[in-house]
């Protein structure tokens, strides 16, 4: 198999389903000529594969050859971290949220930019998330925060049914601003 054929095969892998389907097909092919061409193409693209890659299942070989294995390790679902903390804006001790994790002060509605995905504590910024808007829809409040350091925006549900609910007057005040 030529390098062009390996490029064509790798170009057809767009989704996880494609990788599974083509991986099964690759596993059924006799010899290792096709696998060697895929490994050579991956190396030409700057993806380093170990010598044992020749023996990997087809799906794994295709995913690694495309350099998608690192992207597959990125977390995208929230982690429920419910802990007390001192508000960086008003210095009050913020209690647990209860049934859901609390990430903002119920009195001043400020938060900290510490998460990339809620609960992962992976953001490098650490800036103050200032409430810049609030909206009441479908029976609940949604807050909009903007980071004072990097400008990132986040949306979060207000906690109206927690032991210490978000201050309704503060929510209405933020809603009137934007």
- Residue whose pair of structure tokens reads 């479908």 in the numeric block: 138
89 and 166 together in one domain: yes
Domain end: 15, 44, 72, which one? 72
Domain end: 30, 49, 72, which one? 72
Q: What is the pLDDT of residues 1-21, one digit of tens each?
A: 567 888 888 888 888 888 889
Domain end: 72, 97, 124, which one? 72
Give the domain range for residue 111.
Answer: 85-177
Q: How far is CA 1 from CA 15, 45, 46, 52, 103, in A?
A: 23, 18, 20, 20, 55
Rounded to the nearest 10 degrees, what angle do helices 58-65 and 33-44 cross at?
20
Q: What is the pLDDT of residues 67-115, one digit of tens each?
A: 876 666 666 676 777 788 899 999 999 988 776 778 899 999 999 998 8
Query: Does a structural domain hold residue 40?
Result: yes
Answer for the pair 81, 121: CB distance below 8 angstroms, yes or no. yes
**pTM recorded for the entire structure:** 0.58
State how many domains the chain has: 2
pLDDT confidence of residue 72 = 63
pLDDT confidence of residue 6 = 81
Answer for the pair 54, 39: CB distance below 8 angstroms, yes or no. yes
Average pLDDT, the chain: 86
């Amino acid at each position: 198999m030529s390098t062009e054929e390996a490029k064509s095969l790798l170009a057809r892998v767009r989704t996880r389903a494609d990788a599974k389907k083509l991986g099964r097909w690759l596993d059924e092919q006799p010899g290792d000529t096709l696998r060697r061409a895929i490994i050579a193409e991956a190396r030409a693209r700057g993806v380093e594969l170990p010598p044992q890659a020749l023996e990997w299942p087809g799906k794994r070989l295709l995913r690694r050859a495309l350099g998608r294995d690192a992207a597959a390790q990125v977390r995208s679902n929230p982690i429920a971290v419910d802990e007390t903390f001192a508000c960086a804006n008003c210095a009050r001790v913020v209690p647990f949220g209860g049934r859901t994790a609390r990430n903002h002060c119920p009195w001043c509605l400020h938060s900290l930019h510490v998460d990339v995905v809620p609960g992962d504590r992976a953001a490098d910024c650490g800036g103050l998330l200032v409430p810049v808007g609030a909206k009441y829809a479908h029976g609940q409040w949604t807050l909009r925060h903007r980071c004072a350091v990097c400008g990132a925006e986040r949306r979060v549900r207000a906690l109206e049914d927690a032991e210490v609910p978000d201050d309704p007057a503060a929510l209405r005040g933020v809603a009137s601003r934007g």
